[in-house]
Structure 1
């Protein structure tokens, strides 16, 4: 009789221990944002010999901007404190911009015709 109780107790503990790892993970709603809010680059595509683009966001904080070519090579890097960025030194082509504002980074494509 004692063996049945020990065996039942063992299986009950094993059952509850096995399923205790399958609980639901409750993440807090105070997560760190992964995107720069209202990030906008215009005009895009750039044409007609324009030499400036405008990069804006909701907070309009200082932004670190890196230009990469389609092969992933860093072409140009700058820090933008306003909205207007001079692109006159860039030739026609497709670029990938990595924009970082307050430790949040996003990538966007820029086409210069």
Structure 2
């Protein structure tokens, strides 16, 4: 029973953090991506600069499912099975964390 509370608390904190991060975007953050939900195996990173971007994608339990660095705007996510993920995009000193849905 304690294990279920642990996972529930972990998920709650994770989604609360993502929700907070999305609120920050509305206040002028420059990194993002589209489409969400992703349906064609690709997402496109939006940014005001063309610096190298480090991408980390985690499942809802915190396991890293993808780590890559890109110089273009297109990211191939064909290898990720459908589900809900957390994506962290870092470009220079700027970092954005969002919820990613893959269908």
- Please state which structure has a larger fraction of its residues in strand: 2
- The offset of 1:86, in angstroms, is 0.5
Structure 1 vs Structure 2 CA RMSD: 1.8
Does structure 2 retain, via aligned residues, the 8 Å contact 1:95–1:111?
yes
Matches within 5 A, 1:47-58: 47=39, 50-58=40-48
Mapped to 1, the partners of 2:30 and 2:77 lie a distance apart of 22
Question: In the alignment, is residue 81 of structure 1 matched against residue 94 of structure 2?
Answer: no
What does residue 99 of structure 1 align with? 89
Taking structure 2 as the reference length, what is the TM-score of the superposition? 0.68
Higher relative contact order (CA closer than 8 Å, sequence separation 6+): 2
Does structure 2 retain, via aligned residues, the 8 Å contact 1:37–1:58?
no
- Please state which structure has a larger fraction of its residues in helix: 2
Does structure 1 retain, via aligned residues, the 8 Å contact 2:31–2:95?
no
SS in 1 for 2:75: strand
Segments of structure 2 that go 5 or more residues without pairing to the other structure are 1-23
Taking structure 1 as the reference length, what is the TM-score of the superposition? 0.63
What does residue 12 of structure 2 align with? none
What does residue 57 of structure 2 align with? 67
* Moved >4 Å (runs of 4+): none
What does residue 43 of structure 1 align with? 35
Q: How many residues align?
A: 78
Larger of the two Rg values belongs to structure? 1
- The offset of 1:37, in angstroms, is 3.7
